[in-house]
Chains A and B, each alone.
Chain A
Amino acid sequence: MIKIQQEDFNVGQQYTRLANNPEAGAIVFFVGCVRDMNQDESVSGLFLEHYPDMTEKVIEQIVSQAQERWHLSDVNVVHRVGQLEVNEQIVFVGVSAAHRNDAFAGAEFIMDKLKTAAPFWKKENRQGKSYWLEQRQSDVQAANKWDV
């Protein structure tokens, strides 16, 4: 299940959805939240823009690639858009599998690829001004490590 939405998500509900499968022996999930600091500056919130339709398609492709590489039972991805304040949840990536190695790898792969391929852009509010974030080289390296 892939959802792009403005409203918050409930981690418990997401977990229950993944756990409600008799073949799910392992569940791994990641939640990304808005940090209060970036580049030594205080962050008061951020705005998340996306490219409707393309975002869903790209995430579907990433999930398909993960399912081809590992034995995954279920995958849930929820990504929020719009104005978000500090400490709010941004993204949920959860994977269930029969075994933990597949679940760990699948969740990390989906998250790494999402960060460098899914069309979302963050504009951060810092000290009364807003700045579009630049892509981090460390995120690109994290995504590329799966291709070698």
Chain B
Amino acid sequence: MITIRLFARLREQIGQPLLQWELSEPMTIRALLDALITDDFRWQTLTETEVLCAVNHQQVTFEQVLKSGDEVAFFPPVTGG
């Protein structure tokens, strides 16, 4: 099981801040996103604009391999300060 978290515009577009996902085997974030889109077309929105991702609070690329227990987050480019 992994935890998927969404922030800002993505959280609103998908309609929920987090969900749990059963990870049958280690996979990249890119493969996870493909699986999410297959499950629910709304996730397609994550491929249409620049989206960043983090695993366990560390920003990573979409090639990062996920393992059970990870927390993966998707978010738009940041705008604080």
Contacts and interface: CB of A to CB of B under 8 A. Distances in A.
B78 interface: yes
Given A51-B75, A53-B57, A119 B81 contact: no
Interface string B55-81: 001110000000000000101111111
Q: Is the interface of A mostly helix, strand, loop or mixed?
A: mixed
Interface residues of A, number: 28
Interface residues of B, number: 16
Given A57-B57, A114-B81, A132-B9, A121 B76 contact: yes
Interface in A52-103: 53-54, 57-58, 79, 90-91
26 contacts: A49-B7, A51-B57, A51-B75, A54-B57, A54-B58, A79-B80, A90-B81, A114-B81, A115-B79, A115-B81, A117-B78, A118-B80, A118-B81, A119-B80, A120-B80, A121-B8, A121-B9, A121-B75, A121-B76, A121-B79, A121-B80, A132-B79, A133-B79, A134-B77, A135-B77, A135-B78
